[in-house]
Amino acid sequence: MRRWINRYSITFGLIGLAVLGWNLYVAAHRDGLLTGRVAAADGSAIAGATVKVRERTMVSSEPRAEAKTDAQGRFRVEGLDYHHLLVEVEAQGFKPLPRQSVRLWFRGQNRALEAPLTMERAG
């Protein structure tokens, strides 16, 4: 038994364990959900805003999904099997929000945006 414990078996064993652990974590957190909140500069919720999600590829970006915010300004976008997202928001009476980059550690990672997407009033 002892002859099998050497720097090679320990190194490759640890790498194998790390890969296994990471894959288990990915399997448990991979539903492709993006949630967040859209608010005005004064903090009030913006209902009915359109949240568009694009996939950022190496040389371009492609539109993938969109959702509307509810009365509390919350949105939930599903089925995002991508690892680099661009989020843009449009709402009547507000300036369009420039694209926000959302980087994920793996495709389809569930992500809740902590800070609200803040929009400026038009005019």
Partner 1 sequence: MGRHPTWPIHLALVAVSFVMLVPFYWVLKTSVTGENIFSYPPSVVPRDVNLFYYVDVWYYIPFVRFLFNSVAVSAIAVVSNVVFNALAAYALTRRFPGRKWVILLFLSCMMIPFQATIIPAYLITQKLGLLNTHLGLALPLCSTIVCIFVYKASFEAVPRSLIDAARIDGVPDWQIIFRIMLPLSKPAIATNVILSFIWSWNSFLWPLIVTRDKAMQTLPLGLSTFLSYLENTTGALYAFCVMVLVPGIVLFLLAQREFIQGLTSGATKG
Q: How far is the CB of 101 from partner 1 (least distance, A)?
A: 10
Closest to partner 1 by CB, 103 vs 121, is 103
**Cα separations in angstroms, 36 against 59, 73, 113, 116:** 27, 8, 5, 7
Q: Which residues bind partner 1 (CB under 8 A)?
A: 7-8, 11, 57-59, 83-84, 103-107
Closest to partner 1 by CB, 44 vs 101, is 101
Q: How far is the CB of 79 from partner 1 (least distance, A)?
A: 17
Q: How far is the CB of 59 from partner 1 (least distance, A)?
A: 5
Question: Which residue carries 């790498």 as its tokens?
Answer: 15
Contact criterion met (CB below 8 Å) for 85 and 40:
no
Sheet holding 50-56, edge to edge: 61-68, 50-56, 84-90, 97-103
Closest to partner 1 by CB, 106 vs 122, is 106
